[in-house]
Structure 1
Amino acid sequence: MAREPEPILRQRQALGAQLAAFRQAADLTQGRLAKAALCDRTTLAHIEKGRARADERFWRACDEAVGAHGVLLSAFHDLVAAKQDYEQRENQRRLAQARVRAQRLSTNGPPGPASASSLCDDGEVIESPGPPVRLDGSYVETLHSRIRELVELDIQFGGDQSSGVAFRLFRSVHRKLGTAQCDPRVERDLYAATGELGEVAGWLLYDAGRHGLVRRVNHEALHLSRLAGDRSMELLTLQNMSMHAGHLGRPVEALRIARMVLETNRLSPRLQALFRTREARALALAGDETAAKRTFRRARSLYLDGVRDDDPAWAWWINDQELAWHEAMIHADSDEWERAADLFETSIEVTPGREVRRRYNHLASLFDAQVHAQAWCDAGRTIERIMPFVDEVGSTRTATTLWGALDKLDATRPTSTLREAAHQLRSVLTDAGYGPLDTDHGVS
């Protein structure tokens, strides 16, 4: 679980302690209460210690089971309100900082064409020879700094704009590797940093819907990470490749990548959780709902084992909101839309306010599930939550999800109020540059 601010963490721990006290007063074991709350005993134990989060459904079930008469549910609502208030203040501060970073990176980024598509020919990255230069430790540090800036831009603004900057930078560094003189003491670090840059560029291109480039950049990033002996970045790139294969409607490929990693590596519980989640998603896409849900339960149990000291720095990415979203997607792939909507709502609830792109994407997924479930009132409220982000976050992937949901809505009979709200959403998407035809290169 991502580290929370101390006041929120203390409030969550107090809520867990309240739960334990009510359970004991009701003479219930953790196992019996877990059964009533539709979770396992380990999860309940983590919640009582304040080490895991739970949704409103869980707290409502526990409140009823222990006879708390609304005390636990009210305390949960107080926690949610406190968290939202804190995150709103943090988001305003970080958004101002991110805009400064975006301006600086756009001004100082490497020169090159504005469109990533102009840099490829029949799927090949065009390389032009450049003058030999010497690369040293300070250049590697510069690369790491730029990678951090790109990650922060993704968190705030999505991949549509930053993917072009990332791809041009990756192309430039990749070209230098073939001609530059390099200090032997930093050669491995240079290749590792370039592999990491490729991984980030591949992710941003995925969010921007540039799927032909995603596959090529991912493969090149994997090659560079292997040359550098950077097993950590190799694993992150492989999970990206599994994710992308699933997104393109290739569940067998996605499953093979995930299982290859699981079968050939000794992974920590947190990394096993990541690849078990990828395995579960691929199984759901392939239509094996029972195996998908069983595998995801295993992934969640592994996730609750926590992070080890030797886990990679990027392990923070595997968090509560990401797991909730993937569980929702498994139910969506199984056409269980009402349950999917509940879980998407949970993923949004636990997403920090500063993670604007993730919140926007999860809201789009929630809207899609609500349309499929024909939950018209809920869908209308979700449109209201989506609208502020449409022209602020550049994510073709998310816009594609929204257009897919809007097309689905057209084939149904929504309320007149929802029809009007959907019309406004279409207008805002179009004004932001996301007309229906603009998302054809994405896969919904």
Structure 2
Amino acid sequence: MTEHTPPTALPAWLLEDAELCTAVQRHDFGRVFRLARRRAGISYSQMAIACDIKPDRVGTLARGQGKVATFEKIVQICDALRIPGHLAGLADRPWEAASGTGTEADEAVLRRRFLQVAGFAATMPTTLTQPPGRIGQKTVTCLRERTARLRRLDDVLGGGDTYRVYTTEYQATKALLRQASYSEATGRALLSVLAEQAQQAGWAAFDGGREADATSLYEASRTAAIDAGDAALAGNALAFLAYQRLGGDRQAGVEIASRSTESIDDRTPAGVRALLHERRAWACAVAAMPTEAERSLAAAGEALAESAGETPPDWAAWVDRTELDIMTGRCWAELRRPLRAVPLLEAALARYADSHARDKALYSSWLAQAYLTAGEAEQAAAVVSRSLALADGVASVRPHKRLLTVLAGLSTTRYRALPAVAEVLEQARG
């Protein structure tokens, strides 16, 4: 039997790279993680599984924050990435002799480790690993709770890392709907979970640059939500579709976003109302409709005020005052009103943790854009510099696309000779 090679094993050519060797010798495993992802295509989530490190910790280390200091963890990382012991100052590792002790069970171990990292039990529920029989609300509750826990990965990882995880969950629930038996009420609840999972998978697809997959998943989500009688999720599916459409037909994006707010009724939670109104505001801002944007922002603010003490569905729980301030600042930046945009964005982003690297880098791009609109190129360059550092190694196409737009503005003849601007343009090229 041959030695099992884990999917996180670094290729031989990378192990000979001077930069990687130096990072390993210095036990700078944040740089090792970053190089493994950038040059070998090994995702942070894969490394988190194999190294038994929380995904947010991998991302934090990759951004140069913190270090691995314990002997046990250094050994575990070297074994997971198949880094020869001598590079890290260790004795030769047992697998270096290709002793042939690996087994097919190693893959199951990796899967169980991922579930532990994500906050789950060590094994999948029997309803997903064995042919299902009769299921009830308890199964639906377990699925919804797991979906909520998996959603936390999106706080620290980009869609390039989470897409496969979320689509696997979605497909598993689809199979359950086909194969299990259940009451009508349980079936509707299961469809609601399916709609929620499809939206999460669609968001990861969109974030990772899989536009066609995102559209398909959002549309499937809306169908499932309608069949489930879940008007709030059906409205949110439309809001996702509108957000995606804004990259092309902006008027169509406004129309779809307006349909999402028209789905609001007396049963819609206040937090969901705030979410749908703020997304319509963004569609209107992108379409250069300031009056409508301001009206929707006001409606979002009113709904958020009414949400105090209410427990929103988990998929809308992230909408708070800071989020609304950021969206308001983004709208005013997009509408070229920097005097309104800058104070809001500066204050809100100061409250926003760097651990949410993708979103902070993305949102900061509108702060940079607002500064540039005001002719403050040096301030814009400083913001872009911080955003580039935050976005480094994040598996998301969106921050990079946005920052390229601002960098294009900075690279004009008017600004590029300024020392601060020249420095950030060089940083972007690196």
TM-score range, shorter chain: 0.5 to 0.7
- Which 5+ residue runs of structure 2 have no aligned equivalent? 1-51, 60-79, 81-106, 113-128
Show CA shifts across 1:145-184 (max 9, x none): 5423431111012222112322244245435534x13344
Report which stretch shifted further, 407-416 or 135-144: 135-144
CA distance in 2 between partners of 1:158 and 1:305 (Å): 32
CA contact (8 A) 1:321 1:350 kept: yes
Taking structure 2 as the reference length, the TM-score comes to: 0.62
CA contact (8 A) 2:329 2:340 kept: yes
Question: How is 1:309-328 mapped onto 2 (pairs within 5 angstroms)?
Answer: 309=310, 311-328=312-329
CA distance in 2 between partners of 1:362 and 1:260 (Å): 23
Please state whether the residue corresponding to 1:318 is helix, strand or coil.
Answer: coil
Question: How is 1:19-418 mapped onto 2 (pairs within 5 angstroms)?
Answer: 97-99=54-56, 107-108=110-111, 133-134=131-132, 136=135, 140=140, 143-144=143-144, 146-175=146-175, 177-178=177-178, 180-184=179-183, 186-259=186-259, 261-262=261-262, 265-266=265-266, 267-307=268-308, 309=310, 311-414=312-415, 415-418=418-421
Which residue identity is paired with 1:294? R
CA distance in 1 between partners of 2:310 and 2:154 (Å): 26
Show CA shifts across 1:22-57 (max 9, x none): xxxxxxxxxxxxxxxxxxxxxxxxxxxxxxxxxxxx
Which residue identity is paired with 1:98? P
CA distance in 2 between partners of 1:331 and 1:361 (Å): 15
Which residue identity is paired with 2:426? H
Pairwise CA distance, 1:413: 2.7
Show CA shifts across 1:338-397 (max 9, x none): 532333223312324543332222123322333343322212322342243223322211
CA distance in 2 between partners of 1:106 and 1:384 (Å): 40
CA contact (8 A) 1:156 1:354 kept: yes
1:81 is aligned to: none
CA distance in 2 between partners of 1:352 and 1:106 (Å): 33
CA contact (8 A) 1:277 1:299 kept: yes
Pairwise CA distance, 1:197: 0.8
Report the CA distance shift for 1:190/1:105 in structure 2 as closer, same or farther (over 3 A): farther
CA contact (8 A) 1:338 1:370 kept: no
Pairwise CA distance, 1:208: 1.6
Report the CA distance shift for 1:424/1:339 in structure 2 as closer, same or farther (over 3 A): same
Taking structure 1 as the reference length, the TM-score comes to: 0.61
Report the CA distance shift for 1:417/1:286 in structure 2 as closer, same or farther (over 3 A): closer
Report the CA distance shift for 1:384/1:246 in structure 2 as closer, same or farther (over 3 A): closer
CA distance in 2 between partners of 1:100 and 1:331 (Å): 34
1:422 is aligned to: 425
Report the CA distance shift for 1:423/1:143 in structure 2 as closer, same or farther (over 3 A): farther
Report the CA distance shift for 1:391/1:284 in structure 2 as closer, same or farther (over 3 A): closer
* Superposed CA RMSD: 3.4
Which residue identity is paired with 2:387? I
Which residue identity is paired with 1:254? V
Q: What is the number of residues matched between the two proteins?
A: 311
Which residue identity is paired with 1:227? D
Report the CA distance shift for 1:372/1:257 in structure 2 as closer, same or farther (over 3 A): closer
CA contact (8 A) 2:286 2:334 kept: yes
CA contact (8 A) 1:251 1:285 kept: no
Report the CA distance shift for 1:353/1:108 in structure 2 as closer, same or farther (over 3 A): same
Report the CA distance shift for 1:268/1:147 in structure 2 as closer, same or farther (over 3 A): closer
Which residue identity is paired with 2:132? R
Please state whether the residue corresponding to 1:221 is helix, strand or coil.
Answer: helix
1:436 is aligned to: none
Show CA shifts across 1:244-300 (max 9, x none): 233444334433443453366224544333333233223323322233223323432
Show CA shifts across 1:207-261 (max 9, x none): 2222211111011011122223333433332332232233444334433443453
Which residue identity is paired with 1:405? V
2:62 is aligned to: none
Report the CA distance shift for 1:211/1:416 in structure 2 as closer, same or farther (over 3 A): same
- Which 5+ residue runs of structure 1 have no aligned equivalent? 1-94, 110-130, 428-444
- Larger RCO of the pair (alpha carbons < 8 Å, separation 6+): 1
CA distance in 2 between partners of 1:383 and 1:413 (Å): 17
Which residue identity is paired with 1:330? C
Please state whether the residue corresponding to 1:392 is helix, strand or coil.
Answer: coil
Report the CA distance shift for 1:366/1:164 in structure 2 as closer, same or farther (over 3 A): farther
CA distance in 2 between partners of 1:101 and 1:198 (Å): 26
CA contact (8 A) 1:268 1:308 kept: no
Report the CA distance shift for 1:143/1:204 in structure 2 as closer, same or farther (over 3 A): same
CA distance in 1 between partners of 2:229 and 2:358 (Å): 32
Which residue identity is paired with 2:419? S
Please state whether the residue corresponding to 1:374 is helix, strand or coil.
Answer: coil
CA distance in 1 between partners of 2:422 and 2:243 (Å): 33
CA contact (8 A) 2:411 2:425 kept: no
CA contact (8 A) 1:324 1:343 kept: yes
Pairwise CA distance, 1:317: 1.9
Which residue identity is paired with 1:335? R
CA distance in 2 between partners of 1:294 and 1:234 (Å): 23
Percent identity between the aligned chains?
21
CA contact (8 A) 1:255 1:283 kept: no
CA distance in 1 between partners of 2:223 and 2:210 (Å): 20
